């Protein structure tokens, strides 16, 4: 066997803490071979990004990095000088950071940034432009010469991510470190990025360290999987084996927390929170949250031991019993109750009635402004106690629709009625009453909370605004609502910066629930959160629907999550409803080609070594100039000449409507299948 490209042995990263040292990364060891893709997964705070940064020596003082071995090929990275490291970065090691918008320089064009990266490594003159055009074409960006002249803010999220990958590939590095490259991206863009990573390995033999909290992503492209918890790798091995037969309880718990598009099932929200480096428990760091712990787990920290060919696990239970018991952890909501799916043809009066709603925005200077067609003539109902999911790519109008339902914006044309009353007529006391009855949870919990307010202050403000209870009862009510969202009373005195992302999102939900609303509108409530936290929030929503008969409207790009929480799914495309279907039907038999393409783009932990098919490649047309006829016809695999002339109406019955002249056929359901990855070294 050839020597590994990257060798990491007993890596430790320490930070000074008063008179002592804390170690967020402790004893990490792994290797990456030439042309191999390794997945690194784990919850936030487990040390994934810090490990990746240490591999390129980007962790500086006051941190202290040590290892028995940290080598890239023949280069000892621990002994490399600063000039040597500058020569390696970009040339031998490429880095794809998590957020492309903040990692790209906002005042430099894409071409200038790639040109600077090539200049730093000695590429001359005309060769720089040729190389820049080549990498932009390689990552699938349309019209590379035009992209070179554009600034980051002029690109869509998917295009920015591809430009970031192109920048990392400009000098053809042998190792690519990709830190959450698909987080918060639409399903179809995510699929395109995964295909790109697989193609890079196949054609350039690029080695990739892929960091992700999405197990479906790593299942599709990774040869081996490293599972990290509390600064250690607790399980490693071939991806197919780790996912099929987990040997560490943490890996199994993560898998139990993953929603599946194919079927709704009880999710397992891992109890508790990951330990901090300065408050790590004695023994196995996972034992306070583990469903399988034995007495020894609370005393001794298990070493990583061989549990199979090419497999390691740091677990006393697996080492003593030769594997984990063949049981699944009991969902933490306990009763195992399932939701009753509402019949779309319910005779109960609808709570929301949306009729012919249009919302346009004027953008640009007054003398030449353009009109953004955010929503165009959409109509639907939401019934009491129903959970409605709204899906679509960025720019499809999802958030605009959520804001209209919450009366944070008003339609340009059309009518929205709530409980039979036109929202446009609400003023004064009736408007305040509506605000209490309909609450919204925004996508970013940190910017939704006042940094000067404690958790109790944030909830108390909502209570006093709507006069929910007398002042003497506020503290008890705050404790009650925090307990309802799974936060203990001691969180009441904390500020937003002292909370994790999942805890902040729970505070936002608690604030919304404190006023006892009838409707909760959640805009990307779990975007970019760990799967275990997602499962906890999904569990919370289901409990609220059972206990409070709460009506939910959930906006998300995670289709598997929408399948889990929704009775019905509304698919938007460029401001139009293209499909309105029961969630179970939407997951397996959508009729509109766009809804079908979205669903087929979702990676799955059950399809190891398979990439979802890319059925739509063109970029989303601008909302300022939507195409005539069917708005999807410019990207549709079923498009006919009629589609460019006539706009299809929403048709169908039994609660399933779709707007398409040429819907998906039975043959296409079976023929448009996932692509098997050419792993090379798999």
Asked if the model's pLDDT at residue 378 lies above 90, the reply is: yes
pLDDT digits (tens, 9 = 90+) for 323-345: 887 654 444 433 333 333 344 43
- Can you tell me the mean pLDDT for 51-68? 93
d(CA 559, CA 362): 31
Q: Where residue 119 falls among pLDDT bands split at 50, 70, 90?
A: very high
The residue among 215 and 286 whose pLDDT is bigger is 286
Classified as helix, coil or strand, 496 is helix
Do 492 and 456 contact (CB within 8 A), yes or no? yes
Q: No. of H helices and E strands in the chain?
A: 23, 27
Do 207 and 184 contact (CB within 8 A), yes or no? no
- Can you tell me the mean pLDDT for 477-497? 88
Q: Which strand (E) or helix (H) includes residue 508?
A: helix 501-513
d(CA 262, CA 585): 10
Residue with tokens 């940190």: 446
d(CA 115, CA 383): 56
% of the chain surpassing 70 pLDDT: 94
The predicted structure's pLDDT at residue 184:
67
Nearest Cα neighbor of 66 from 15, 31, 3, 19 is 15
Largest CA distance in the chain: 76
C-alpha dihedral over 562, 564, 568, 569, to 10 degrees? 20
Asked if the model's pLDDT at residue 676 lies above 80, the reply is: no
Nearest Cα neighbor of 211 from 226, 197, 196 is 226
pLDDT digits (tens, 9 = 90+) for 311-324: 999 999 998 888 88
pLDDT digits (tens, 9 = 90+) for 137-185: 888 788 899 999 999 988 877 788 889 989 998 998 999 999 988 876 7
The predicted structure's pLDDT at residue 675:
57
Domains in the chain (CATH in brackets) are 104-170 (no CATH), 385-411+423-573 (3.40.50.300)
The residue among 305 and 324 whose pLDDT is bigger is 305
Do 575 and 637 contact (CB within 8 A), yes or no? no
Classified as helix, coil or strand, 545 is helix
Nearest Cα neighbor of 302 from 249, 371, 263, 354 is 249
pLDDT digits (tens, 9 = 90+) for 598-632: 999 988 888 888 888 889 877 788 899 999 999 99
pLDDT digits (tens, 9 = 90+) for 188-243: 888 888 998 898 888 888 999 999 888 888 999 999 999 999 999 999 999 999 99
Which of 119-123, 271-275, 592-596, 652-656 shows the highest mean pLDDT? Answer: 592-596
Do 136 and 167 contact (CB within 8 A), yes or no? no
- Can you tell me the mean pLDDT for 92-99? 87
d(CA 656, CA 323): 46
Average pLDDT, the chain: 88
Do 34 and 204 contact (CB within 8 A), yes or no? no
For 42-106, the three-class secondary structure string (H helix, E strand, C coil) is CCCCCCHHHHHHHHCCCCCCCCEEECCEEEECCEECCCCCHHHHHHHECCCEEEECCCHHHHCCC
Q: Which long-range contacts (CB under 8 A, 24 or more apart) does 138-147 make?
A: 138/166, 138/169, 139/163, 139/165, 139/166, 139/169, 139/196, 140/192, 140/196, 140/617, 141/166, 142/618, 142/619, 147/110, 147/111
Classified as helix, coil or strand, 380 is strand
Q: Where residue 1 falls among pLDDT bands split at 50, 70, 90?
A: low
Asked if the model's pLDDT at residue 266 lies above 80, the reply is: no
Distance of CA 262 to CAs 207, 241, 559, 602, Å? 32, 22, 10, 10
DSSP label at residue 543: H
Nearest Cα neighbor of 12 from 250, 277, 386, 351 is 277
d(CA 519, CA 1): 60
Angle formed by the axes of helices 157-169 and 125-138, to 10°?
Answer: 130
- Can you tell me the mean pLDDT for 43-60? 91
Do 12 and 232 contact (CB within 8 A), yes or no? no
d(CA 594, CA 592): 5
Burial readout 506-528 (b: 16 or more C-beta within 10 A, e: otherwise): bbbbbbbbbbebbbbbbbbbbbb
Q: Where residue 548 falls among pLDDT bands split at 50, 70, 90?
A: confident
Residue with tokens 């090419």: 310
Burial readout 372-405 (b: 16 or more C-beta within 10 A, e: otherwise): bbbbbebebbbbbbbbbbbbbbebbbbbbbbbbb
């Amino acid at each position: 066997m050839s020597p590994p490209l990257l060798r990491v042995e007993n890596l430790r990263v320490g930070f000074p803490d008063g008179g002592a040292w804390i170690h967020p990364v402790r004893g990490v060891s792994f290797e990456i071979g030439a042309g191999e893709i390794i997945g690194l997964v784990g919850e936030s705070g487990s040390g994934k990004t810090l490990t990746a940064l240490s591999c390129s020596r980007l962790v500086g003082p006051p941190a202290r990095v040590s290892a028995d071995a940290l080598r890239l090929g023949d280069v000892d990275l621990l002994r490399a000088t600063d000039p040597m490291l500058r020569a390696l970065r970009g040339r031998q090691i490429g880095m794809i950071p998590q957020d492309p918008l903040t990692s790209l320089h906002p005042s430099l064009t894409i071409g200038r940034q790639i040109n600077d990266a090539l200049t730093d490594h000695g590429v001359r003159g005309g060769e720089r432009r040729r190389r820049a055009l080549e990498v932009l074409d390689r990552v699938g960006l349309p019209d590379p010469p035009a992209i070179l002249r554009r600034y980051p803010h002029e690109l869509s999220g998917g295009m920015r991510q591809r430009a970031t990958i192109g920048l990392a590939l400009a000098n053809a590095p042998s190792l690519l470190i990709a830190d959450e490259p698909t987080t918060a991206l639409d399903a179809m863009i995510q699929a395109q990025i995964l295909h790109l990573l697989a193609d890079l390995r196949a054609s350039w033999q690029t080695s990739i360290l892929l960091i992700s909290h999405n197990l479906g992503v790593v299942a599709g492209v990774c040869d081996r999987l490293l599972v990290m918890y509390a600064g250690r790798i607790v399980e490693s091995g071939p991806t197919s084996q780790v996912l099929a037969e987990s040997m560490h309880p943490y890996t199994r718990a993560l898998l139990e927390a993953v929603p599946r598009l194919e079927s709704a099932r009880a999710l397992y929200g891992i109890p508790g929170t990951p330990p901090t480096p300065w408050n790590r428990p004695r023994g196995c760091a996972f034992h306070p949250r583990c469903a399988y712990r034995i007495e020894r787990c609370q005393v001794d920290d298990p070493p990583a031991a061989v549990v199979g060919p090419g497999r390691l696990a740091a677990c006393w239970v697996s080492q003593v019993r030769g594997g984990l018991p063949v049981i699944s952890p009991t969902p933490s909501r306990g009763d195992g109750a399932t939701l009753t799916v509402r019949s779309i043809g319910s005779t109960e009066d609808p709570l929301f009635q949306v009729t012919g709603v249009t919302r346009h925005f004027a953008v640009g200077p007054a003398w030449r402004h353009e009109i953004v067609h955010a929503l165009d003539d959409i109509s639907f109902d939401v019934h009491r106690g129903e959970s409605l999911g709204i899906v679509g790519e960025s720019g499809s109008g999802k958030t605009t629709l959520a804001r209209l339902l919450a009366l944070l914006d008003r339609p340009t044309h059309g009518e929205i009625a709530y409980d039979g009353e036109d929202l446009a007529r609400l003023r004064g006391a009736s408007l305040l009453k509506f605000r209490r009855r309909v609450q919204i949870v925004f996508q970013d919990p940190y910017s939704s909370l006042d940094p000067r307010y404690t958790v109790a202050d944030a909830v108390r403000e909502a209570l006093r605004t709507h006069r929910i209870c007398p002042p003497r009862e506020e503290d008890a009510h705050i404790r009650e609502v925090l307990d309802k969202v799974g936060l203990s009373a001691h969180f009441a005195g904390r500020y937003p910066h002292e909370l994790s992302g999942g805890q902040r999102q729970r505070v936002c939900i608690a604030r919304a629930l404190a006023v006892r609303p009838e409707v909760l509108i959640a805009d990307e409530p779990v975007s970019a959160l760990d799967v275990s936290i997602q499962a906890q929030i999904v569990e919370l929503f289901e409990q609220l629907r059972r206990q409070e008969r709460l009506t939910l409207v959930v906006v998300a790009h995670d289709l598997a999550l929408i399948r889990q929480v929704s009775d019905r799914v509304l698919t938007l495309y460029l401001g139009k409803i293209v499909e309105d279907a029961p969630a179970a039907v939407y997951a397996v038999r959508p009729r509109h080609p766009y809804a079908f393409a979205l669903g087929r783009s979702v990676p799955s932990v059950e399809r190891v070594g398979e990439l979802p098919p890319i059925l739509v490649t063109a970029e989303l047309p601008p909302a300022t100039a939507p195409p005539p006829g069917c708005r999807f016809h410019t990207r549709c695999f079923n498009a006919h000449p009629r589609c460019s002339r006539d706009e299809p109406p929403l048709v169908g019955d039994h609660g399933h409507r779709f707007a398409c002249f040429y819907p998906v056929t039975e043959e296409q359901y079976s023929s448009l299948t996932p692509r098997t990855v050419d792993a090379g070294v798999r």
